[in-house]
Chains A and B, each alone.
Chain A
Amino acid sequence: MTNTEARDAMEHVSSKFGITPEDYMLPARSEIHMLDVNGKLHPSGQQGVEPGHEYPLPNPKALVDAYEQLVIGRRVNDQNSALVRQGRMAVYPSSHGQEACQVAAALCLDEGDWMFPTYRDSVAVMAKGVAPMEVMAGFQGDWHCGYDPKQYKVSAQATPLTTQLLHAVGVAHAAKLRGEDTVVIAMCGDGATSEGDFHEALNFAAVFNLPVIFFVQNNQYAISVPLSQQSVAPSLAHKAVGYGMAGERVDGNDLVALLAVLGRAVRLAREGNGPLLIEAHTYRMQAHTNADDSTRYREDAEVQSWIAKDPVTRMRTYLDEAGLLPEATVERITASAEAVAKTLRDGMNSEQVPDPADIFAYVYSSPTTQMTEQAALLADELAREEDTK
């Protein structure tokens, strides 16, 4: 049975843009950006105007809403890093410097859409609506995933790299078979593009013509290994053409461009035009985790050069100069960020004691005989410990 659906979709969408399918699949000649490093809007002729790669400016309200999430995201990263330093949280992979990507990944989705985040995407998970302390359960060491993925339509944050991309494909496939218009954003980093599952996920999504946005946050390093050691492709976005899907590169520290590019990608996917691969260039400003020492593999000058491209500063400057940040708005945004930070501090201070019996409770829908025996052994051991206290 010859499968023509994906090919037909490519023909259809590219002809709408008046270009060939190949030109539609190839990323624009340079990454899409809208704000320069000083927060000035690029002249409209430089905002991504190649045929098939046109990106209109998002509306002012969307920009201010996104900025609020950006400020919250930065506050969450800083607060959690502080909590780790104080020994009140076990581990936190910070997305400091990548907050624009985090925020855009969540805000481009509708309520019924799914997100498949990695361990570094806590800010995106919160921006999608998951309660902050439910996100933190895993980093606190209470349980692997503290939220209900079905309730929020956010998968458990993936620790093995890349495996989640295939789950995203499956969720989209199930929805498509039922005739639902769900879109799924599947997130990964630059290192993950080397994994076999990256290839399999993109290929499956393309072959089955599924509404999945593969969103690669290229933060230049996989722990210590630089991108040049992962891939020598012209860009990660160029890999899309190998699967018969569209790819695009975007400035990952430019929230305006991210909203425009991801917003359009979601729209195209929802219309049945198949998956897209979006690569955002950004930078992990801090070490991989608190257990890492990034001075061993990257130069301070490089880190400094990225401070100048900070996504929060750029967005604030732009909105301020556009008159979109009156004092009252600034105060409101600061207050929301402080409220989230307080939730995190208070949550970390109230020590949760996980129940040892839970070790056995969720392995299967009901415990096996063997597990029930082992649970009884542990319960007995704990009871005897209690007696000797």
Chain B
Amino acid sequence: MSTTVITSSAANGNVSAATAAAAARTADTGLKPVTFAKALNTAMADAMALDESVLVFGEDVGVLGGVFRITDGLTKRFGNDRCFDTPLAESGIVGMAIGMAMNDMRPVIEMQFDAFAYPAFEQIASHVAKMHNRTKGRMPLPMVIRIPYAGGVGGVEHHCDSSESYYAHTPGLKVFTPATVRDAYLMLREAIDSPDPVVFMEPKKLYWSKDQVDLEALRVSHETSAVPPTEGRAAIARPGTDATLIAYGPSVSTAMAAAEAAALEGRSLEVIDVRTIVPLDDATICESVRKTGRAVVIAEAPGFASVSSEIVARIQERCFHSLAAPVLRVTGFDTPFPAPKLEKYYLPSVDRILDAVDALQWEEGA
């Protein structure tokens, strides 16, 4: 089995190559391309227009519109009471959001970067996650904690962490992470509507990715429940028959690029986009693996004690007799996220995914 057909940029998991591949898959619908960032921004604006209790706050989210401009224009449109800046204190932001949710608001708060959310960890783990349970459901906390996360943008230390496992490990939190422009809109709307608190993890390398999506049509579909919910439903991002790649958030585009490359060699890979880590869609994942008999789980986070290890364990528990090979993983190394010039060696790449696919004992299975 050879992987020499892969271009060097795609082999490094290069973002633009992956995005280009994704764009090539999308049929031209005549719509203007929309960025992932715009989809998130519009989701918040639509939710705010519909429900006065939806509030947006955090650091620099007001006049500036957020360091990634995801909240751009919300203060101007809805006023400083609905979208506003707070003092620079993450525990304060989350703690105040809890109180607001206790008092019938629906806060959507921004943690500026993944690693900057850690000062708020006590509020998240001890209260956001547990208030509903503590009070036997009498005090629900409908709130969304938006966290730009993961690497691939050449960010410095504390700006590239894949922190999803911390939240996924804490019962009481829901953890969403979209991988497409369409899902960015729909999943954020769902998160804001949810009666449960949602940690909404936004892959920052996707902020400037584009797709031809009609956000107004999506708004109507969402508000008339014409689209099925994404919560607890993984998406089959690409159907295939020979092996299953399971990915989420920033890794989906890399998995798609790998499946594209494998197809050129005549190997049909199915790509599953997990979408909501909590609740996890065991059924879709297992149905795919039972069909293909082979699986690779891909994630940027260090593999040790992670979401990827959980997915592998669950496949092994549920699909053992359908497996033709051990389930493998392509993840970040068990090291801190490296400096910008080294991240290409760390991030799961198309090449590494194809190597893992090659290692799925095809000879015995043939």
- What residues of chain A have their CB less than 8 Å away from a CB belonging to chain B? 1, 114, 143-145, 148-151, 155-156, 160, 163, 165-175, 177, 196-197, 200-201, 203-204, 207, 358, 361-365, 368-370
Bound complex: CA of A369 vs CA of B279, how far in Å? 8
Instruction: Given A155-B102, A368-B279, A370-B282, check contact A170 B97 (CB 8 Å).
Output: yes
* A–B Cβ pairs within 8 angstroms, 14 of them: A1-B62, A151-B138, A177-B55, A196-B91, A200-B87, A200-B91, A200-B95, A203-B87, A203-B92, A358-B136, A362-B135, A363-B132, A363-B133, A368-B232
Instruction: Given A144-B133, A369-B232, check contact A177 B95 (CB 8 Å).
Output: no
Verify A171–B132 contact, CB threshold 8 A: no
Query: Is residue B336 within 8 Å, beta carbon to beta carbon, of the partner chain?
Result: no
- Write the nearest CB–CB distance from A130 to chain B, whole angstroms: 13
- Write the nearest CB–CB distance from A126 to chain B, whole angstroms: 18
Q: How large is the interface on B (under 10, 10 to 19, 20 to 34, 35 or more residues)?
A: 35 or more
Verify A170–B96 contact, CB threshold 8 A: yes
Verify B92–A166 contact, CB threshold 8 A: yes
Verify A169–B99 contact, CB threshold 8 A: yes
Instruction: Given A166-B123, A197-B91, A203-B89, check contact A364 B172 (CB 8 Å).
Output: yes
Verify B126–A163 contact, CB threshold 8 A: yes
- Write the nearest CB–CB distance from B143 to chain A, whole angstroms: 10
A-B contact count (CB 8 A): 142
Verify A200–B92 contact, CB threshold 8 A: yes
Interface residue from B86, B91, B103, B133 paired with A171 (Cβ < 8 Å): B103
Instruction: Given A1-B62, A166-B98, check contact A177 B105 (CB 8 Å).
Output: yes
Verify A169–B89 contact, CB threshold 8 A: no
Interface residue from A145, A166, A362 paired with B95 (Cβ < 8 Å): A166
Interface residue from A149, A150, A170, A370 paired with B279 (Cβ < 8 Å): A370
Instruction: Given A155-B102, A160-B126, A174-B104, check contact A197 B95 (CB 8 Å).
Output: yes
Bound complex: CA of A155 vs CA of B139, how far in Å? 9
A364's nearest neighbour on chain B, judged by CB, is B196
Verify B98–A204 contact, CB threshold 8 A: no
Which residues of the partner chain A approach B239 to less than 8 Å between Cβ atoms?
none
Verify B122–A160 contact, CB threshold 8 A: yes
Verify B99–A143 contact, CB threshold 8 A: no
Which residues of the partner chain A approach B134 to less than 8 Å between Cβ atoms?
144-145, 156
A160's nearest neighbour on chain B, judged by CB, is B126
Interface residue from B62, B89, B136 paired with A362 (Cβ < 8 Å): B136
Instruction: Given A1-B62, A203-B92, A204-B86, check contact A365 B99 (CB 8 Å).
Output: no
Verify B135–A207 contact, CB threshold 8 A: no
Verify B103–A175 contact, CB threshold 8 A: yes
B125's nearest neighbour on chain A, judged by CB, is A160
Bound complex: CA of A196 vs CA of B93, how far in Å? 13
- Write the nearest CB–CB distance from B131 to chain A, whole angstroms: 8
Verify B137–A370 contact, CB threshold 8 A: no
Which residues of the partner chain A approach B232 to less than 8 Å between Cβ atoms?
368-369
Verify A170–B136 contact, CB threshold 8 A: no
Which residues of the partner chain B approach A177 to less than 8 Å between Cβ atoms?
55, 81, 105
